[in-house]
Amino acid sequence: MKKIKMMLLPVLAIVMMIAFTSCNKKNVEPGFIGIKVNLLGGEKGVQNELLGVGRYYIGVNEKLYIFPTYQVNYSYTKSVDEGKAVNQEFTFQTREGMECTTDIGLSFHFEKTKIISMFQKYHQGIDELEDIVVRNSIRDAINKVSSGMKMDSVYGNGKAVLITSVQKLVKQDLDSTGIVIDKLSLIGSIRLPASVKAALDSKNEMTQKAEQSKNEVLKAENDAKVKIAAANGEAQSLIISARAEAEANKLKTQTITPILIQYKIAEAWDGHLPTVTGGSVPMITLPTK
């Protein structure tokens, strides 16, 4: 028996060495928090302890999940140069059944006190949460909101209503789990089928031209009113001038008498009769003393 134990000691030492060397040193960096998960055995599952900044030994039966404690910004886009190197655009339909696509920006953070319960619910790391949990919530919300909106509204002034309504639904769905949605935003324009976009652009152009024509008519009417007002003013000015002149002439007429005329002629006469006359010699009758 003693011999068997002696034979097993090297084997046990090798097993312990393998187990020790299988442990990985993992760091929890500043700005992050960790959760250690037991993968096997009676204690399988999430440990009820958050791991702060530091270095930890993670055994073969354990896995460390790390979550940021700061706000995370993520982009779901068609471009492979943003977010993940795959097309992550959202596809949705309007009330008319018209299919649209769009890119969405996401800002969120994890509520520290709910990280353990959040992991127990989803059993996912941050990448899976972004790609599956949060994305599915946004997809469901945008389809629910857009199905009640008309195409021209979604493509035009209704975009703000669309994204605000989607954000409200996603917050209601996820905030209580510990994934707190700070902001959703549309990235660029909502993409429509080429034929639909051309039709809407043509409609918008016609609307703009009609508005322009309306403004031109209003301007012409205003210009005409200005001219009429100016003409009325000029006419009133002429009437006032004519009345003034008539009143002046009336006063002049009332003051001119035959005696005044004779006096003015006498005052202007130099005492000589004209050398050439065409008729009778004008006579001046001077008043007697």
Q: What region does 135 belong to: left with phi over 0, alpha with psi -120 to 50, or beta?
A: alpha
Residue listed under structure tokens 């060397």: 21
The CATH number assigned to the domain holding 126 equals 3.30.479.30
Q: What is the pLDDT of residue 273?
A: 62
- If one counts the domains in the chain, the total is 3
Q: Are 64 and 76 members of one domain?
A: no
Rounded mean pLDDT of the chain?
A: 80
What stretch of H or E contains 197? helix 194-255
In a domain, 31, yes or no: yes
Q: Are 174 and 77 members of one domain?
A: yes
The two structure tokens encoding residue 112:
């520290």
Q: Is the dihedral of CA 263, 264, 266, 267 positive or negative?
A: positive
Distance CA 165, CA 32 (A): 31
Report the share of the chain in percent with pLDDT over 90. 38
Q: Which pTM value belongs to this model?
A: 0.61
Distance CA 52, CA 229 (A): 82
Domain residue limits at 93 = 72-192
Last residue of a domain, one of 68, 97, 114: 68
What are 240-275's pLDDT values in tens digits? 887 877 777 776 676 666 766 676 677 666 666 666
Single out the residue of 155, 250, 262 nearest to residue 198, CA to CA.
155
In the chain, what's the furthest Cα-to-Cα distance?
A: 185
In a domain, 200, yes or no: no
Q: What is the pLDDT of residue 115?
A: 92
3-state secondary structure string across 50-65:
EECCEEEEECCCEEEE
Q: Considering only residues 38 and 173, tell me which one the structure prediction assigns the higher pLDDT.
A: 173
Query: Per-residue pLDDT for 198 more than 90?
Result: no
Q: Are 40 and 98 members of one domain?
A: no
8 Å CB contact between 50 and 116: yes
Angle at 118 between CA 113 and CA 120, to 5 degrees: 120
HSE, CB side, 13 Å, CA atoms: give it for residue 190: 26
What are 73-122's pLDDT values in tens digits? 999 999 888 778 889 999 999 998 889 999 999 999 999 999 999 998 99
Average pLDDT value for residue range 5-18: 51
Q: Are 188 and 84 members of one domain?
A: yes
Q: What is the pLDDT of residue 270?
A: 66
In a domain, 132, yes or no: yes
8 Å CB contact between 101 and 78: yes
Q: Are 12 and 97 members of one domain?
A: no
Q: Are 175 and 77 members of one domain?
A: yes
Q: Are 60 and 76 members of one domain?
A: no
Distance CA 189, CA 55 (A): 45
In a domain, 286, yes or no: no
In a domain, 277, yes or no: no
Distance CA 90, CA 80 (A): 14
